[in-house]
Amino acid sequence: MGNEIVRLSELDKGEVGEIIGYEKDIPSSIRSKILSMGLTRGVRVEMIRPAIFGDPLEFRVRGFNLSLRRSEAQYVLVKKV
Amino acid sequence: MRKVRVAVIGNPNVGKSTLFNALTGAKQYIGNWPGVTVEKKEGERIWRGIKIRFVDLPGSYGLGAASIDEKIARDYILLEKPDYVIDIIDASNLERNLYLTLDLLEMGVKVIISLNMIDIAASKGIRINHEKLSELLGVPVVPTIAIREKGIDKLCDVVVNAVNGDVIFKPFKIKYPKEVEEAIQELSSIIADIDSKLPSRWIALKLLTGDEDIKRKISEYKDGALIIARAEELAEKIRSIYGEDVEIVIAEARYQLIGKIVEKVISVGAKPEIDVSDLIDRVVTHRILGLPIFISILWAMFLFTFNVAQPLVDLIDIAFSQAAEYVHATLDSSNPMLASLIADGILTGFGSILVFVPNIFFLFLAMAFLEDVGYMARAAFNMDRVMKKMGLHGKSVIPLILGMGCNVPAIMSTRTIESEEDRLVTILINPLIPCSARLPIFIMLAAIFFGRYASVAVLSMYLLGFLLAIMIALMLRKLFFRGKVFPFVMELPPYRMPSWKTISIHVWNRGSKFLKKAGWIIFSVSIVLWFLAYMPPEAEFGGSESWLAQLGKLFEPVFLPLGYNWQIAVALIFGFLAKEIMIDAFAILMGDNYETVLAGMLTPFQAYALMAFVLVYVPCMATLAVIKTETGSWKWTIFTVTYELILAYVLAFFITFIGSLIW
């Protein structure tokens, strides 16, 4: 199960994924925002925890913590590491 | 004296307000950015014979136009052309912060970097070679600790040195992949042709990434449309070569460069074993504990805002009514009209504004504290799912809860919501949340008509209020803000002890602005209502012969289908001044045994309909004033009044109608 490719929204708590790309139909407003926050290809993202009602999700990337809704994180493709 | 204008920019949560306050001191000019309700702060410092005017730009992660804040920041730099831009960077979060820095450098502005919170970074084992960073970026870098005012003088020194020509700002260029670079060069040379003052390379980049706002600006030039068409062609070409959108290619090139810079300037030592922020978050966002903690914090904030401030509110209330009594006692015999104007008009008017002041200041204190500590972001994070279902945003939860105390500070607390649409919806539904001033009326009517079920009737008003708020929010989304879902890409900043100086300046600025702006509206309406209640002079104040009563009689036919007579109509008009005044109005119009009179006047269903009407019908004057100042729009203010009046009438009519079938 080493190099399984999943959506960022599918990572479980504590799992780390390396960004490999984005869904083609990602809305540009979401794309600009996540790119400026440093979610570029090759970067490692750790899923820290979900919010109390299960959505949004908290991630750790480039040394800071970021919250994304599942509906936004699903556009980002990661390789589990 | 020589003058220089310096814009201050930075990512959110980098201590920008604290640094700004350290630079300018408490004397600041607060305004709004043109056309929007985002606050604009300016301040001055005279340093070594030069007058430095600092302009605080909204927190931004980059110079895209993703949010209103970022658009304001970039428009200011692009169009107003400040002499220098101080870019505040969080030393413990260099990577992401440098993204904005690169955007600024590519725009060709003269950037002075304030490398802030170096103490916190050091405590995490992060050391930054700021001289090396300065060398790599080609701009001055000043290490600062804003909260302890360290490095502030040095920062001003650098500005002065720059003015004197002693600082070199090297031009900065990011090397992009070949095809992107070619496209940028082609576009930037045409852009330079149409307007040599534009930062052509930066504009070329924005056109390639399809920035709508920049496209619009360029399309205003003569050959603008041609340039845009060419940019789209080139972007398409790059997309076909790289298999990814240009924006992704560009962002990657930038972050690669950032990676190289960070590698050269940072040395990471031993990290502390425990991450305190993470520990707090484990509890605060815990699946089971999270919600009770959230509710407790809200409850504490509620108590602080309304109960702790209450003695001050009472004091102001008593002071004004005592003053009014004194005026009546001394002036009534000699000049009754003047006495009434001062006592019932001016003093009551000022009193009705000032009683809000303690609540507002206490609320802002609590809000600023929770915001600066970092809890607000967690509250929004935790509640987002529920709020989103209602067509709102995670951050809408605070204003909804505070509305139960008073809608005025509640509406002001929507300022933390970045998305203009989410904020507007949150403001427009807020008056439906029953504030504490409506409670006495509910209790009075319920006690008269529902006996032992009174508390159930009162509670049902709260449920009804929240239900209507959710319905209207969903409806507003469908009608006016369809499809515009603001991404919830939000930083969860590490918990920090806030700076009390920053908080107090912030609270003072907000509170005094409310007094200045909303105060005038409330005051003028109070005077008008006084006049209507006073005229004609021979009639009893607000009595059955007054113009106000005439107005009530004029409206009587409107209320007839609901079974309300002119007395209730007048009470409702008074309720616009402040909801709690309605009870006084009943007393004036029906005498001291108004409860018995009311009992004979209405059926229980009509009384329940009246409760619902009072719940919904119109925000009080102060709330209305604050809706106007916060939305900056008469249109939305009038919209609120209109929809609430219609909703209240329909609702009351419906309840009365059902009642007439059963009763």
**pLDDT for B125 beyond 80:** yes
Question: In this prediction, what percent of chain B has a pLDDT beyond 70?
Answer: 97
User: Architecture of domain B178-268 in CATH?
Assistant: Orthogonal Bundle (1.10)
pLDDT score for B545: 83
DSSP state, B415? Answer: G
In SS3 terms, B278-300 reads as: HHHHHHHCCCCCHHHHHHHHHHH
Cα–Cα dist B516/B503, whole Å:
20
pLDDT band at residue B148 using 50, 70 and 90 as cut-offs: very high
Task: Name the least confident of B401-415, B447-461, B488-502, B631-645.
Answer: B401-415
The two tokens of residue A57 are 């999700």
pLDDT score for B518: 67
**Stronger pLDDT, B3 or B592, i.e. the higher one:** B3
Residue with tokens 């019932």: B344
**Stronger pLDDT, B366 or B112, i.e. the higher one:** B112
Residue A42: which domain range? 5-80
Q: Are B55 and B4 in contact (CB under 8 A)?
A: no
* Alpha carbon B164 to chain centroid, angstroms: 40
Contacts of residue B498, Cβ cutoff 8 Å, sequence gap at least 6: B368, B369, B372, B373
Phi, psi of A67, rounded to the nearest 5 degrees? -110, 135
pLDDT score for B345: 78
> Which has the closest alpha carbon to B348: B526, B580, B536, B141?
B526
By Cβ distance, the residue of A28, A42, A69 closest to B210 is A28
> Tens of pLDDT along B547-569?
888 888 888 899 988 989 888 98
Cα–Cα dist B435/B543, whole Å:
28
User: Which of B490, B491, B496 is the mutation pick for testing A, counting most A CBs within 10 A?
Assistant: B490
CATH, range B2-163: 3.40.50.300
pLDDT score for B577: 77
**Stronger pLDDT, B593 or B614, i.e. the higher one:** B614
pLDDT score for B548: 83
The two tokens of residue B444 are 């009075």
**Stronger pLDDT, B516 or B379, i.e. the higher one:** B379
- CB A32 to CB B66 under 8 A? yes
pLDDT score for B429: 95
**Residue A65's CATH number:** 2.30.30.90
Question: In this prediction, what percent of chain B has a pLDDT beyond 90?
Answer: 46
**pLDDT for B484 beyond 70:** no
**Stronger pLDDT, B338 or B261, i.e. the higher one:** B261
> Tens of pLDDT along A10-68?
999 999 999 999 998 888 888 888 998 999 999 999 999 999 999 999 999 998 999 99
Partner A, chain B 24-53, Cβ-Cβ below 8 Å: none
pLDDT score for B180: 94
Q: Are B73 and B24 in contact (CB under 8 A)?
A: no
pLDDT band at residue A69 using 50, 70 and 90 as cut-offs: very high
The identity of residue B76, as a single letter, is Y
Average pLDDT (B576-597) is 78
By Cβ distance, the residue of B92, B247, B492 closest to A65 is B492
B281: which chain A residues are within 8 Å (Cβ-Cβ)? 48-49, 58
pLDDT score for A29: 82
pLDDT score for B136: 96
Q: Give CA angle at A47 (A64, B422), nearest 5°.
A: 70
Q: Are B405 and B413 in contact (CB under 8 A)?
A: no
> Which has the closest alpha carbon to B202: B168, B171, B238?
B171
The two tokens of residue B35 are 């056309």
In whole angstroms, how far apart are CA B45 and each of A24, A37, B54, B159?
A: 50, 33, 8, 11
The two tokens of residue B135 are 């060398």
Residue B238, Cβ density class (10 Å: 0-12 exposed, 13-18 middle, ≥19 buried): buried
- CB B95 to CB A67 under 8 A? no
- CB A56 to CB B96 under 8 A? no
Q: Are B427 and B490 in contact (CB under 8 A)?
A: no
A29: which chain B residues are within 8 Å (Cβ-Cβ)? 66, 487
Q: Are B225 and B152 in contact (CB under 8 A)?
A: no
Region of A27 (left: φ > 0; alpha: ψ -120 to 50; beta: rest) is beta
Task: Name the least confident of B273-282, B531-540, B550-559, B586-595.
Answer: B586-595
Partner A, chain B 116-175, Cβ-Cβ below 8 Å: none
Counted domains in chain A: 1
A32: which chain B residues are within 8 Å (Cβ-Cβ)? 64, 66, 209, 247
Q: What DSSP string runs through B188-239?
A: HHHHHHH-TTS-HHHHHHHHHTT-HHHHHHHHTSTTHHHHHHHHHHHHHHHH
> Tens of pLDDT along B285-334?
888 998 999 889 878 877 887 788 889 988 988 898 899 889 989 988 88
**Stronger pLDDT, B363 or B446, i.e. the higher one:** B446
Largest Cα–Cα separation, chain B: 92
Asked if the C-beta of B232 comes within 8 angstroms of chain A's C-beta atoms, the answer is no
Contacts of residue B258, Cβ cutoff 8 Å, sequence gap at least 6: B95, B98, B99, B102
pLDDT score for B87: 98
By Cβ distance, the residue of A31, A37, A41 closest to B96 is A37
**pLDDT for B634 beyond 60:** yes
Average pLDDT (B649-657) is 94
Consecutive H or E run containing B111:
strand B111-116
User: Which of B95, B258, B489 is the mutation pick for testing A, counting most A CBs within 10 A?
Assistant: B489
The two tokens of residue B417 are 């919501």
Average pLDDT (B180-198) is 93
- CB B95 to CB A63 under 8 A? yes
- CB B384 to CB A56 under 8 A? yes
Q: Are B417 and B69 in contact (CB under 8 A)?
A: no
Nearest CA in chain B to A23: B244
pLDDT score for B356: 72
Q: What DSSP string runs through B608-628?
A: HHHHHHHHHS---HHHHHHHH
The identity of residue B284, as a single letter, is V
A72: which chain B residues are within 8 Å (Cβ-Cβ)? 487-489
Instruction: Say how many CB pairs under 8 Å bridge A and B.
Output: 119
**pLDDT for B352 beyond 90:** no
Task: Name the least confident of B161-170, B182-191, B351-360, B651-660.
Answer: B351-360
In whole angstroms, how far apart are CA B510 and each of B310, B362, B515, B619?
A: 20, 11, 9, 22
pLDDT band at residue B113 using 50, 70 and 90 as cut-offs: very high
Q: How far is B462 from chain A (nearest CA, A)?
A: 24
Domain spans in chain B, listed from the N-terminal domain onward = 2-163, 178-268
**pLDDT for B589 beyond 90:** no
Span between the terminal Cα atoms of chain A, in Å: 9
The two tokens of residue B605 are 């269903």
pLDDT score for B350: 77
**Stronger pLDDT, B550 or B360, i.e. the higher one:** B550
> Tens of pLDDT along B490-537?
889 999 888 888 888 888 887 787 777 667 776 777 788 788 888 887
**Stronger pLDDT, B622 or A8, i.e. the higher one:** A8
Nearest CA in chain B to A54: B385
Nearest CA in chain B to A66: B491
pLDDT score for B263: 94
Residue with tokens 């007094």: B515
pLDDT band at residue B483 using 50, 70 and 90 as cut-offs: low
pLDDT score for A53: 92
Q: How far is A9 from chain B (nearest CA, A)?
A: 13
pLDDT score for B68: 75
**pLDDT for A1 beyond 60:** no
pLDDT score for B205: 95
Largest Cα–Cα separation, chain A: 33
Asked if the C-beta of B443 comes within 8 angstroms of chain A's C-beta atoms, the answer is no
Residue with tokens 């959710």: B470
Span between the terminal Cα atoms of chain B, in Å: 81
Q: Are B359 and B306 in contact (CB under 8 A)?
A: yes
Q: Beta B2-10 vs B50-56: how paired, if at all?
A: parallel
Q: How much is the ipTM here? A: 0.94
Average pLDDT (B430-445) is 88
pLDDT score for B36: 64
pLDDT score for B313: 85
Average pLDDT (B46-60) is 94
**Stronger pLDDT, B67 or A61, i.e. the higher one:** A61
